[in-house]
Amino acid sequence: MDSSDDKAVLALFEGLALSAGSAIMAVFEAGFIYETKADASPVTEADRAAERVILEGLRIALAGVTCVAEEEIAAGAVPVLKGDSILLIDPLDGTKEFINRRKDFTVNIALVRNGTPEIGVVYAPARGLLYSGRPGEATEVSITPDFMPAARRKISVRSAAEPLTIVASRSHRTLETDKFIARFEGADIVSVGSSLKFCLLASGEADLYPRFGRTMEWDTAAGDAVLRAAGGRTTLIDGRPLYYGKRGQVDESDFANPWFIADTSQAAADQRLR
């Protein structure tokens, strides 16, 4: 897919995310039950409704690009990847947050080119906030209660604060993550769910997000795209960029991520010296 279309693709993602968020909030407000998938993770009608909205729109507007969507994958519909671009969709990231009636759940839509997440939208409908990114520009958008964009501002990562602010998962914290965080004496620790962790770095509110636990590409691609657009980065433990479109992994399933660290460039320099 040609990069000259980036602005139109981002506008498409934003519109679909808002429509998906409307469907999610309808379920959230009406009440729901949840099921458990084969991997023991929860799923609700909101996940499925949001994914239907997103996939219908993407497959009409971007018919030549392969969609990799969480609930389709869970149902056994694994796509054949064609070309150098893929779309990664998590229709309701933070389902545990949603079930527990916390506000950190998000809609994630991302375009990956040649293994790099370049365009992404993260929408937190219960918070009325949408984050979007394309090469060279990241924004935060306030969303009205009737799911319309309002104020929009450009965002970027900050120089590392002292002490650092580190964000970590609320529902999926691991011992390895805690050990890494303990290296930063006096750091402020913020626990938040879903891909909003990337967005806190992108908007200059935090410095470091270590994830030493299992994630899937659809969990991270949209937030990662926003962070990279804002001047940050996401790397493996050895410093190589986190790559997307992983298939045929020897010790992991398709599209599973290794451990990673998301950060600002200054925060990265600080933590690599420790």
Strands annotated E in the chain: 34-36, 42-44, 66-69, 85-93, 106-113, 116-124, 129-134, 137-143, 149-154, 165-169, 188-192, 208-211, 215-216, 233-236, 256-257, 260-263
227 carries a ligand binding annotation: no
94 carries a ligand binding annotation: yes
55 carries a ligand binding annotation: no
Cα dist. 197→38, 191, 261, 273 in Å? 26, 8, 11, 23
Q: Could you tell me how far CA 90 lies from the centroid of its own chain? A: 8
Cα dihedral 197, 235, 272, 93 in deg (nearest 10): 20
219 carries a ligand binding annotation: yes
23: left (phi over 0), alpha (psi -120 to 50) or beta: alpha
What are the tokens at 87?
A: 């779309």
Q: What is the largest CA-CA distance in the chain?
A: 51
Residues present in the chain in total = 274
104 carries a ligand binding annotation: no
90 carries a ligand binding annotation: yes
254 carries a ligand binding annotation: no
Binding site for substrate, by residue number, is 70, 92-95, 219
Task: Report the binding-site residues for Mg(2+).
Answer: 70, 90, 92-93, 219
Q: Residue positions in the annotated binding site?
A: 70, 90, 92-95, 219
